[in-house]
Chain A
Amino acid sequence: MERETKAFLSGNEAVARAVRLARPQVIAAYPITPQTTVIERLAEMVEEESLKSEYLHVESEHSALSACIGASAVGARTFTATSSQGLLYMAECLHYASGGRFPIVMMNANRSVALPWNIYGDQRDSLSLLDCGWIQAYAEDAQESLDLVLQAYAIAEHPEVLTPMMINLDGFVITHTYELVNVPGQREIDFFLPPFNTTNKMDFDSPRSLAFTAGPAYNQAFKQLQHLAMVKASKVIGDVEERFGRLVGRNYPGLIESLYCEDAEYIIVTLGSVAGTIRPVIEKLRSGGERVGLVRIRYMRPFPDAEIRRALAGAAAVGVLEKDISFGFEGTVFTNVSSALMRAQVVPPRLLNFVGGLGGKDISAADIELIFKRLKKSEPGETVEFI
């Protein structure tokens, strides 16, 4: 596959194709629905030798990420994938990987968290782990999933970032939906993504201790460096997207994508695949003369605070629609958006939170129209509304 091809792929298969193009040296795999077809495709690629990787059948998600940390600590490029309960089981290793500055790339199939048990998509798994120090991106479709995996290695392994990255795909809606996807050629990707080269590794020429203890006198300094690296990632993401656009021919808009925000009075802010439901509703309403718009958050960490402020500065009402709830308060995305706005005291007259899609509950075009109607109503209602 030297040149670009078109293929009919599910989101999971698109991710597997991207991983092959990125040439990771170690893949640690543990099955969980709806992630499993990623590691199945990768197993086939390794078996047929179209991908030369060490493929570890590990005994848990905790071990999957622990093995990736070990491999990264000797300088190998790594990949793993998980979902939901598996992501939660990894939680200790998530903090470990980011604290040790190991630029592991992982796909997460966004899925509901038990209880009650449910295998369908919402974003409570990854959003509940927003503070674990990983770059978090949310794809809208299979093409973006593929491109994000390739960009993820360039972003995570950047020497000024050295931070692991999680690419989130809505469970089933993206992971299992087939679309026509452009798969870049290996030659372009080899040029875009040279082999991983790091000094943050154990080395026989210069032995060192990694993942050490740092007491009160030093600990905060390491955490501060970690924070600054994540802040730095905002710029690096833009640079990587620019280079990707030049070499591969597909352009991405940075941390957020905004649609009609320059003149929109009523704006929905969301993330992931539901944006695909919102777009045609916006086109329909705009053709009827309504000034509506969309902000699709592509990165939850680093958080696009300045971008969101710019996009929402002229809005009369903003609704944050998310598949997540922090029980007893509001959605995590809403908290983040509100905080970004408050930082610069750019607060739209109405700011509402719509929670939907939990456990795979359908969000329909009619629901989106209802949200826009709520935004237009002038009387105050509940800040958090379940749709």
Chain B
Amino acid sequence: MNLSEQRPEHKISIRGLSDREFFYGHKACPGCGGSLALRLALKVLGERSYAVVPAGCMSAVGFIFPQMAFGCNAIISTFPGTASMLSGIAAGARALGIEDFHAVGFAGDGGTADIGLQALSGAIDRHDKIIYICYDNEAYMNTGVQKSGLTPSGARTTTSPAGKRLRGAVTRKKPMFEIVAAHGIDYAATASVGHPLDYLRKLEHARTVEGTSYLHVFAPCPVGWGHETAETIAVAKNAVDCGLWYLAAYEDGKFVLNHNPGEFGSIRDYLFGQNRFRHLQEQDVSDIEAQRDAKWARIRREWSH
């Protein structure tokens, strides 16, 4: 399946999206991919949402008393506690007889893949009816661009500097999508703010899932990545085109690739369009290319597409 194909159940469209704003008037930076991920998700999930946002960029810009940016119910959780608070909210609402609601979390990459992984694992294990959205900007941006478990190889951050010995992050990005799938999660998908229709459809599907949904949204950060604020969407699209990000879904034990590029776009253009990668040498680019090719060979072999 590719992006142009529509499943018959998909009714959502960009044009048909609600005019109502549930995340508005916040203080996010210009070109912020994360805030776009929140804004779009809440348009799909609507007013009967309990939004849980851990300590991080989106809580820092959205909950500054007395100026609250959420039009729906919202709460900041502890940094490790996004999923556990979602579980508590869902259990509490269920016990009180509240019907027709979404308990939805918006955690960053560090809040998901590092400090929040334990609680997320527990919630998936319980099949709690929650929607967990990871907006992935590939570092701890709120504290000033430190390396997280989802920072890609070679990326320069303030804690993985590009120097004489090391050229940026030496770890690889944790495969969060496959980690949650390995739990036998009810529904998981990757998405990108550069492909909003795909993201909206996945949100639309997540709202109907009787169990845990996990959406991993690629969300560029102009401040941390070093690109122009107007380029957020283009950078996100390029990541998918060059194969460093991918659009896929997991349900009923099966992986499905939603977008299978015939020919990859230029990894070099993607990397050197961002300050965080400009220090990379030819060998580094070749290594990243080799990692990409190995991953895609496996995806194409094992996932349906």
Contact = CB atoms under 8 A, between A and B. Distances in A.
B76 interface: yes
A131 B191 CA distance: 44
Given A58-B122, A209-B74, A213-B63, A68 B88 contact: yes
Given A211-B77, A215-B64, A56 B85 contact: no
Contact of A70 (B72, B85, B122, B126): B85
A209 B96 CA distance: 20
Interface string B66-88: 10101111111110110111111
B245 interface: no
Contact of A207 (B73, B77, B98, B121): B73
Interface in A41-90: 53-54, 56-60, 62-64, 66-76, 78
Interface in B114-147: 118-119, 121-122, 125-126
A204 B46 CA distance: 11
A212 interface: yes
Nearest to A209: B68
A26 interface: yes
Given A26-B91, A207-B47, 17 more contacts: A25-B96, A26-B88, A26-B95, A58-B84, A62-B81, A62-B119, A63-B83, A63-B84, A67-B88, A69-B88, A74-B89, A204-B48, A204-B73, A204-B98, A211-B76, A213-B60, A214-B65
B213 interface: no
A76 B95 CA distance: 8
Interface of A: 25-26, 28, 53-54, 56-60, 62-64, 66-76, 78, 92-93, 96, 202-204, 207-215, 218
B88 A56 contact: yes
A118 B14 CA distance: 60
B271 interface: no
Given A204-B73, A213-B60, A66 B119 contact: yes
B97 to A, nearest CB: 10
Classify chain B's interface size.
Answer: 35 or more
A70 B63 contact: no
A41 B95 CA distance: 20
B303 interface: no
B93 interface: yes
Contacts of B24: none
A60 B78 contact: no
B175 interface: no
A67 B76 contact: no
Nearest to A93: B78
A51 to B, nearest CB: 12
Contacts of A208: 68, 73-74
8 contacts: A59-B121, A66-B78, A70-B89, A72-B88, A75-B92, A76-B96, A204-B48, A209-B68
Q: Which 10 pairs, one residue from A and one from B, show the smallest C-beta to C-beta distance?
A: A70-B88, A71-B92, A67-B88, A59-B122, A76-B92, A202-B73, A63-B84, A66-B81, A25-B95, A70-B85
Nearest to B81: A66
A205 B121 CA distance: 32
Contacts, number: 158
B59 A213 contact: yes
B140 to A, nearest CB: 18
Nearest to A59: B122
Interface hub of A64, A68, A203, A211 (most chain B Cβ within 10 A): A211
B250 to A, nearest CB: 21
A73 B81 contact: no
Interface string B191-211: 000000000000000000000
B295 interface: no
B84 A213 contact: no
Contacts of A74: 50, 89, 92-93, 96, 98
A56 B94 CA distance: 12
Contacts of A25: 91-92, 95-96
Contact of B76 (A63, A71, A213): A213
Contacts of A214: 65
Nearest to B103: A70
Contacts of A56: 87-88, 91, 126
A376 B260 CA distance: 87
B112 to A, nearest CB: 15
A127 to B, nearest CB: 23
Contacts of B48: 204
Given A60-B118, A63-B119, A96-B78, A204 B92 contact: no
Contacts of B121: 59
Contact of B91 (A64, A71, A75, A202): A71
Contacts of A64: 84
Contact of A66 (B66, B73, B84, B90): B84
B52 interface: yes
Contacts of A213: 59-60, 63-65, 76
Nearest to B128: A56
A215 B92 CA distance: 30
A78 B81 CA distance: 17
B101 interface: yes
B229 to A, nearest CB: 24
B50 A209 contact: no
Nearest to A100: B75
Given A26-B95, A74-B92, A204-B101, A212 B65 contact: yes
Nearest to B120: A59
A177 to B, nearest CB: 32
A220 to B, nearest CB: 12
Given A207-B47, A213-B60, A71 B78 contact: no
B146 to A, nearest CB: 20
Contacts of A203: 73
A96 B88 CA distance: 15
Interface hub of A25, A56, A67, A215 (most chain B Cβ within 10 A): A67
